Amino acid sequence: MNIHFDTSDVMDKLGKISENLTDGLQAALGEAGEIVRKDAVLSCPVDTGRLRQSIVSTVEGNSAVIGPAVDYGAYVEFGTGAQGDKSVAHTTKKQWTYYSGGSFHTTSGQPPRPFLVPALKNNSDKIKRIIRQAVMK
């Protein structure tokens, strides 16, 4: 005697649940990323406004990616040289000279002016709540 179980209905339902969960999670990541982006924009140091205007949020796979499109954003966030954030690799030079705008400039680096990491930390509870709600639907 043989017993046969047909699980095709269960598999179809599980597939729909997984699809709905993925869609909900993608939407939650987009919402959470936008919250962090807005906070980063508000706390971003401004000189010309280029850095602030370049901060974007996108969803890539199962991650929200928030950051500036300009190449110098990391230097503002973490600083540079001897004055930079010690948790990030920097040059060991005490100072250096570079040529720009028709003249030479000497610098020992710049201190960090974080705007992205604080935006994430300040909103971590909101982010957790948004993702929890999406997963529980």
Strands 96-100 and 63-68: unpaired
Query: What gap in Å lies between CA 22 and CA 9, rounded to an integer?
Result: 20
Express each pLDDT in 2-30 by its tens digit.
Answer: 555 565 665 666 666 666 667 788 899 99
Residue 97 identity (one-letter amino acid): T
Look up the pTM and report it.
0.78
Express each pLDDT in 60-94 by its tens digit.
Answer: 988 899 999 999 999 899 988 888 888 877 666 77
Cβ atoms of residues 87 and 60 within 8 Å? no
